[in-house]
Amino acid sequence: MTLKLDLHIHSVSNGKIHVDCDQLKESLLKKGLHGVAVTNFFDISHALLLKEQLKEFIIIVGQEVWTKDGHVIGLGLKERVTDFLSAEETIGRIHEQGGIAVAPHPYLFVSFCLGEKVTSLPIDAIEVYNGLAGGLLIPNFLAKRAAQKRNIPQVASTDTTDAASIGQTYTEVLVENPDRILEAVRTGQVKLHKRALPLPFAFVFKGLFYSSNVAPCPVHSFPCLVCGKTMAVRMFKDKRYCLDCGKEEWTRIVCCTNEHFLCIECVAKRNLAISQEMWGTTKEAIKI
Ligand SMILES: [Zn+2]
Ligand SMILES: [Zn+2]
Ligand SMILES: [Zn+2]
Ligand SMILES: [Zn+2]
């Protein structure tokens, strides 16, 4: 027997629960998966809760950490990893608590990625197939090339917030014992199953061309923390002021409907405050 796992999903995005216990269970049963890694930004509280609630499945507690150099995923975490450190320091902290570090979508230009740094950082695996980027071809091609050049283990995952899309692409780990999953990923005992998620054309184009009438991305939702409408990527960078701290920043990512903008540090603070309210996450756990 082997274990089929989607190693990168977001159950919560900017304070909104997208995948709850029942939805995750239904999706795993439908897709015939053994489990997922819940890799939300900023906080691991919901991942811990799902692990507690879904004992019949494998729920790996993870976090997509927002480093200074781009996103880094920690898998098998016991504690939240501090955001906004260097990628190298972040990877060190993931390893310190017995986790493994994966570079997600290293060449996805619209996202916050490690880029060429992926070729030298002490990561354990590279996400060579990101379901969201599947239809774009080039980002995943470059990721695979980087992994092959370094002879580093590879994983495939969806990176979705959409319960129905979980497991569209996944990693089959060639071990039977769930306790050996991380070790198996680190040593490349995996088989990848790659199927792209549908490209959200309407969402991307409306956002790029400054439409204010944009429905949330169907496969990876990122709601505005101020008004709940969707955030989207604009064609050009504009100078914005963070609504919470006043910091000036050039950005392409804003709330489409009401032009709200928060800097990423304030986005993290608001997310952690919401976690504290929703799950009673302790003050120490949410200290930035
Ligand atoms: Zn990411
Ligand atoms: Zn992600
Ligand atoms: Zn807004
Ligand atoms: Zn701010």
Ligand nearest the Cα atom of residue 161: 2
Residue 273 C-alpha to ligand 3 middle, in angstroms?
18
Tell whether 264 is covered by a domain.
Answer: yes
* Same domain as 186, residue 114: yes
- Would the CA dihedral through 141, 147, 153, 158 be positive or negative? negative
Residue 72 C-alpha to ligand 1 middle, in angstroms?
8
The CATH number of residue 164's host domain is 3.20.20.140
C-alpha distances (whole Å) from 54 to each of 12, 33, 48, 213, 277 are: 16, 13, 10, 38, 22
How many residues are present in the chain? Answer: 288
Tell whether 84 is covered by a domain.
Answer: yes
Residue 260 C-alpha to ligand 1 middle, in angstroms?
21
User: Under a CB-based contact definition with an 8 Å cutoff, are residues 4 and 172 in contact?
Assistant: yes
* Same domain as 158, residue 50: yes
* Same domain as 83, residue 58: yes
What is the C-alpha to C-alpha distance for residues 87 and 94, in angstroms, rounded to an integer? 10
Residue recorded with tokens 């082997």: 2
Tell whether 129 is covered by a domain.
Answer: yes
What is the C-alpha to C-alpha distance for residues 133 and 221, in angstroms, rounded to an integer? 15
Residue 99 C-alpha to ligand 3 middle, in angstroms?
35
pTM for the full predicted model = 0.96
Residue 146 C-alpha to ligand 4 middle, in angstroms?
34
pLDDT at 110: 67
* Same domain as 225, residue 96: no
pLDDT at 283: 62
Q: What string of pLDDT tens digits covers the 288 residues of the chain? A: 899 999 999 999 999 999 999 999 999 999 999 999 999 999 999 999 999 999 999 999 999 999 999 999 999 999 999 999 999 999 999 999 999 999 999 999 766 899 999 999 999 999 999 999 998 899 999 999 999 999 999 999 999 999 999 999 999 999 999 999 999 999 999 999 999 999 998 999 999 998 888 999 999 999 999 999 999 999 999 999 999 999 999 999 999 999 999 999 999 999 999 998 998 876 666 565
φ, ψ of residue 257 to 5 degrees: the values are -80, -45
Tell whether 189 is covered by a domain.
Answer: yes
Residue 223 C-alpha to ligand 3 middle, in angstroms?
8
Closest CA to 38 of 208, 125, 70, 53: 53
What is the C-alpha to C-alpha distance for residues 187 and 12, in angstroms, rounded to an integer? 30
User: Under a CB-based contact definition with an 8 Å cutoff, are residues 196 and 135 in contact?
Assistant: yes
Tell whether 284 is covered by a domain.
Answer: no
The parent domain of residue 179 ranges over 3-193
pLDDT at 288: 55
How many structural domains comprise the chain?
2
Tell whether 287 is covered by a domain.
Answer: no
What is the C-alpha to C-alpha distance for residues 145 and 241, in angstroms, rounded to an integer? 39
* Same domain as 18, residue 151: yes
Alpha-helix runs per DSSP H in the chain: 21-31, 45-53, 87-96, 138-150, 181-186, 201-208, 264-279
Residue 160 C-alpha to ligand 2 middle, in angstroms?
7
Residue 266 C-alpha to ligand 4 middle, in angstroms?
4
* Same domain as 120, residue 53: yes
* Same domain as 140, residue 225: no
CA 223, distance to chain mean position in Å, is: 15
* Same domain as 179, residue 56: yes
Ligand nearest the Cα atom of residue 227: 3
Ligand nearest the Cα atom of residue 240: 4
* Same domain as 171, residue 32: yes
Tell whether 288 is covered by a domain.
Answer: no
Residue recorded with tokens 């955001």: 83
* Same domain as 188, residue 206: no
Tell whether 165 is covered by a domain.
Answer: yes
